[in-house]
Amino acid sequence: MLESYLGSLFEMLNAYEDAEKSCGDPNIVKELQARRVALEVDFLKEDIPDLMKESKEGIVRVRKIVQDLKDFSHVDAKPEWSFANLNQGIDSTLNVVNNEVKYKADIIKEYGELPLVQCLPSEINQVVMNLVVNAAHAIGPDRGKIWIRTGIENESAWIEVTDNGSGIPKEVVPRIFDPFYTTKPVGKGTGLGLSLSYGIIQKHHGQIDVQTAVGKGTTFRLVLPLKQTDKAE
């Protein structure tokens, strides 16, 4: 609507400009021209359509983010066991945490083809979010990389999040899944991410493993059964 109104205003403005030529009073013509220069009307004519286009693109992005937030949290649905497309879930999750990650690392996605996996999708999204945010936090001042891989092996789906960040010292590894264990300053870490993730993966009868080397990076690997034998389809 705004775009169409602006179009009408510009059309009118152009008509006035054309009419200036037949204005008998040279003082008025001079005054109009001076004002046009002072107000940068020619620039406005060029820039307003660009701004309009950027605003529309911004609105489309906001809509996409809101949709991804809804997918991520499954607010449209009750938290229920359902068959979910994990690759799609990871994509929504990445959009949600994009702000934490985009200044620190490039994300490299290497998704395999996955069947639908029976899970609590919003909880799996939470786990992936924790792993990706941890990966971003592990990256130092230089820009790093985070690989997200998925695949299928032995009737199970797997998801790996790998970073080329700090790595975890050997003596620390046994403690990282403990509730409230954190090496981060107050305000940045709660120490709950991995402990909650561990609980969620247990509830799914899956596994969460870590492989790490100080100075090289870390891989967290989730393994999830495709179906839950104790749950209805």
For Mg ion, give the closer residue by CB, 95 or 195: 195
Contact 196, 182 (CB under 8 A): no
Does position 134 bind Mg ion by CB under 5 A? yes
Beta strand 105-110 with 82-84 is: unpaired
Cα(202)–Cα(124) distance, integer angstroms: 11
State which of residues 84, 105, 119, 135 lies at the interface with ligand ADP (CB under 6 A): 135
Cα(179)–Cα(31) distance, integer angstroms: 73
Cα(13)–Cα(44) distance, integer angstroms: 12
**Which region, judged by CB under 6 A, interacts with ligand ADP, from 83-91, 102-110, 161-169, 199-207?**
161-169
| Total residues in contact with ligand ADP, by rule CB under 6 A | 21
Contact 18, 32 (CB under 8 A): no
Cα(201)–Cα(89) distance, integer angstroms: 16
State which of residues 144, 165, 167, 193 lies at the interface with Mg ion (CB under 5 A): 193
Smallest distance from ligand ADP to CB 201, Å: 13
Binding to ligand ADP (CB under 6 A) within 92-131 occurs at 130
Does position 228 bind ligand ADP by CB under 6 A? no
Would you tell me the crossing angle of helices 2-20 and 41-73 to the nearest 10 degrees? 180
Residue 183 binds which entry of ligand ADP, Mg ion, none, CB below 5-8 Å type-dependent: ligand ADP
Interface residues with ligand ADP (CB under 6 A) are 130, 134-135, 138, 163, 165-166, 168, 176, 181-184, 189-195, 218
